[in-house]
Amino acid sequence: MIIAHVDMDAFYASVEMARYPELRKVPMFVGGSTRGVVLSANYPARAYGISGGMPSSRARRLCPQVKVVHPDFDHYQAVSAGIREIFDTITDRVEMASIDEAFLDLTTAMRRLGGDPAAVGELLRAQVMDEQRVPCSVGIGPSKFIAKLASKEAKPDGLKLVRSDEVVTFLHPLPVEAIWGVGEVTAAKLHKLGLVTVRDIAMTKKQTLQRALGMGQGSLLFDLAWGRDERAVISREPAEHSVGSQETFALDTDDADLVATEILRMAERTASRMRAQRMVGRTVTLSVRFADFHSITRTGTIDAYTDSTNDIYAEAMRLFRRLHLQRARIRRVGVRVEKLVPKENTYQQPALDEPERGWQEAEAAVDRAILKFGPKAVQRARLTASGRSVTRSSVA
């Protein structure tokens, strides 16, 4: 197996710093200002000893000048959903362990992705940063256990690949506390036995561990000390398959050209994700959120199943024009294609005047280039970096 564990770095704090870049270089945490606890702290705050789970009052004593941001859980969930959309373009076997971490089974996907797990991990990191503006650490290994340990080793904002023949070398020098399920109580029992490192556990007879810790836990610890973990990535199937993206502007805008550019970007991102999953659809939904946070959605149907950026963009723009907005200030736009079906289950009738090679082949070539070289390898002229700088965050 080839398993990746993706762990977002200081997730809540990172999301807030993406929204408010001025917080990046000052100590800050997300949580209650006087009561409650610290939910997430950035690295400048951690330098003062502030950590997650700490009472807010203590954090403020450690660093009186710390900036405090009240949590916005709806926004965090939206960003997490956008990150999940990125994972789905890599593999259909994704297990969200929490709002800010996930396991991805890359075993089958590697055949399509070119056979280099480290390159896939770097692609994941680049796409999350490019689309969501938050860093993540990626660990890759032959099991969930090793992948999770590797992602911890990779922090902050890094990648660690542990190949099958490197497991023992990687694992055995670690302290016993590194093993899943070893808390303070279990660690104290192991220390009484003179077991300090994972290697110490591996070199201890299984029966000795079972007598000290119980049959189940002793056996589990012995297996984990040798890197043996057969747990599979448990993925969920959505009740109705859909793929979408949405973008929040840095400043509310009534510039119709700017809005059209972002609708094109969302159509392209959505279409590329559909192609990665080999899904096609006909139902396009456009969502618009205004400066007063009022939102509307409009849905239309394309004549034939498609995964083409141009088709999806054309329908989204048709829906946008039908709104007849009179310089309304817009905060966010989104494009989603719903009721998707596998591409192999559909038939597309080619037009008589259709060239032998066209947009379908061009988009497939662009997808391959992005997969190999990163999200900015090939871009439409309208979507270059100069246009990108006007946006703050994207969520799906």
Mean pLDDT of all residues in 288-313: 90
Match domain 243-350+366-395 to its CATH number in 3.40.50.2300, 3.30.1490.100, 3.40.50.1000, 3.40.50.620.
3.30.1490.100
Per CATH, is 172-225 categorized as 3.40.50.10800?
Answer: no
Confidence of residue 374 (pLDDT cuts 50, 70, 90): low
- Say if residues 274 and 393 touch (Cβ distance below 8 Å): no
Q: Which CATH class is domain 1-171?
A: alpha beta
- Rounded to an integer, the average pLDDT of 362-386 is 65
How would you classify the pairing of strands 136-141 and 243-253? unpaired
Does the structure show a pLDDT above 50 at 394? no
Domain residue extents for the chain: 1-171, 172-225, 243-350+366-395
Q: Which residue has the higher pLDDT, 140 or 269?
A: 140
φ and ψ at residue 70, rounded to 5 degrees = -75, 140
d(CA 107, CA 285): 33
Which comes out higher in pLDDT, residue 88 or 169?
A: 169
Q: Which residues contact 254 (CB under 8 A, 6 or more apart)?
A: 327, 328, 329, 330
pTM listed for this prediction:
0.71
Active site members: 101
Question: What average pLDDT does range 96-108 have in this prediction?
Answer: 91
Q: Which residues are annotated as a binding site?
A: 7, 100
pLDDT attached to residue 381: 66
- What SS3 class is residue 243? strand
Lowest mean pLDDT among 1-10, 233-242, 367-376: 367-376
Burial of residue 236 (CB within 10 Å: 0-12, 13-18, 19+) is: exposed
The mean pLDDT value for 149-173 works out to 94
Query: Residues within the annotated binding site for Mg(2+)?
Result: 7, 100
Separation of alpha carbons 336 and 393, rounded Å: 17
- Residue range 23-57, pLDDT digits in tens: 999 999 999 877 789 999 999 999 999 998 899 99
Q: Choose between 112 and 108: higher pLDDT.
A: 108
* Topology alike, domains 1-171 and 243-350+366-395: no
pLDDT of residue 238: 52
